[in-house]
Amino acid sequence: HLHAALVFLPNNGGPAWAGPGGGAGAVYDVTRYGARPDGMTDATLPFLRAWADACRSPRPATVLVPPGMFLVGSATFMGPCATRAVTFNVAGTLLAPSGYGWDSASPGRWLTFESVEGLAVSGGTLDGRGAPLWACKQQQPQQPRLHCPSGASSLTISNSRDVVVDGLRSMNSELFHVVVLQSNGVTLNRVTVDAPEDSPNTDGIHIHMSSHVSVYDANIRTGDDCVSVGPGNSNLWIERVACGPGHGISIGSLGHQQGLDMEDVQNVTVKTTWFTGTSNGLRIKTWGSSKQGFVRGVTFEDATMTGVHNPIIIDQNYCPQKVGCSDR
Ligand SMILES: *[C@@H]1O[C@H](CO)[C@@H](O)[C@H](O)[C@H]1NC(C)=O
């Protein structure tokens, strides 16, 4: 009788329970929602459904992505969640559809965690398959914005707090690999970024309008800044970052858009870094036309540079295209 009853339990959706000592609470395995690890079947809905159930759980919950390749389109994992302990545990690889984010309706993002409090993202590889977009931009170096799709950043943590990302690997993003946006209390541990030296706009980690963001033990090889600190950031700690190839670790550019407040950047520590074959090392760049805002309380400490073109640059007259800057 017991066996007969078990046959009628739904076999997709619904949590499995972690064994004793697992500590992960309810486990929502994306393959139980129909995701297939074949790199071909669209797994976007199964991922979103597994997330929705985990996020709804009143107790600690884990979305589990087993080994294998999962094709996932543009997806927003939306909070707030019922529990402040949601884990996204990824053993496999998330593969972007080729040419995703190429229509004008695209939000410019591939994967987003939005308005989540108390999130851990553990492991996983993200493959943004950015090569077709880079090729377009390389063929249109003068006006890529006019002739090429806008593309999408790979992972965005947006409007969230108390987030830990650990052991993530991001490769071949169309645009920025990892973006921290308007968030507070985000730690990025052991993030690896991989993209070719000539891939345009592929910043490794970009931090924007956020505070208390820490980056530890990152290994970044890419075509733009390894770490870029945009406007409105405070209390950042960046320690043990290997960068190269890449454009270095930058604060800015700041002050390009007139009339925006919150351009200020303060209390940033960048400690123990290794730059190898990069165009720049440590850099602060502000547009010559900027009229307000400030950068203060920045410490760059213990940097090792090998084959770096411009080891330290503080440029208060930034104007990369050399046109359209009011003071030129
Ligand atoms: C500066 O930021 C660090 C975190 O990176 C924080 O521990 C420290 O308290 C901040 N200092 C001030 C004066 O706010």
Predicted local distance difference test score (pLDDT) of residue 160:
98
**Percentage of residues in the chain having pLDDT higher than 70:** 88
* CATH superfamily placement of domain 6-224: Single-stranded right-handed beta-helix, Pectin lyase-like (2.160.20.10)
Q: Ligand 1: distance of its center to the CA of 118 in Å?
A: 21
Average pLDDT over residues 235-244: 98
CB of 235 closer than 6 angstroms to any ligand 1 atom = yes
- Which 3-state string (H, E, C) describes the chain? CHHHHHHCCCCCCCCEECCCCCCCCEEEEHHHHCCCCEEEEECHHHHHHHHHHHHHCCCCEEEEECCCEEECCCEEEECCCCCCCEEEEEEEEEECCCCCCCCCCCCCEEEEEECCEEEEEEEEEEECCCHHHHHHHHHCCCCHHHHCCCCCEEEEEECCEEEEEECCEEECCCCCCEEEECCEEEEEECCEEECCCCCCCCCCEEEECCEEEEEEEEEEECCCCCEEECCCEEEEEEEEEEECCCCCEEEEEECCCCCCCCCCEEEEEEEEEEEECCCEEEEEEEECCCCCCCEEEEEEEEEEEECCCEEEEEEEEECCCCCCCCCC
Q: Which residues are catalytic?
A: 247
Average pLDDT over residues 226-255: 96
CB of 237 closer than 6 angstroms to any ligand 1 atom = yes
CB of 216 closer than 6 angstroms to any ligand 1 atom = no
Predicted local distance difference test score (pLDDT) of residue 259:
58
Q: Ligand 1: distance of its center to the CA of 213 in Å?
A: 10
Q: Which of 18-22, 123-127, 168-172 has the lowest mean pLDDT?
A: 18-22
Question: Atom 10 in ligand 1: which residue has the minimum CA distance?
Answer: 235
Q: Ligand 1: distance of its center to the CA of 235 in Å?
A: 5
Question: Atom 2 in ligand 1: which residue has the minimum CA distance?
Answer: 235
Domain range summary for the chain, segments of one domain joined by +: 6-224, 245-255+263-328
Q: Ligand 1: distance of its center to the CA of 211 in Å?
A: 10
CB of 266 closer than 6 angstroms to any ligand 1 atom = no
Average pLDDT over residues 93-100: 86
| Residue range 279-294, pLDDT digits in tens | 999 999 988 777 778 8
| Residue range 179-236, pLDDT digits in tens | 999 999 999 999 999 999 999 999 999 999 999 999 999 999 999 999 999 999 999 9
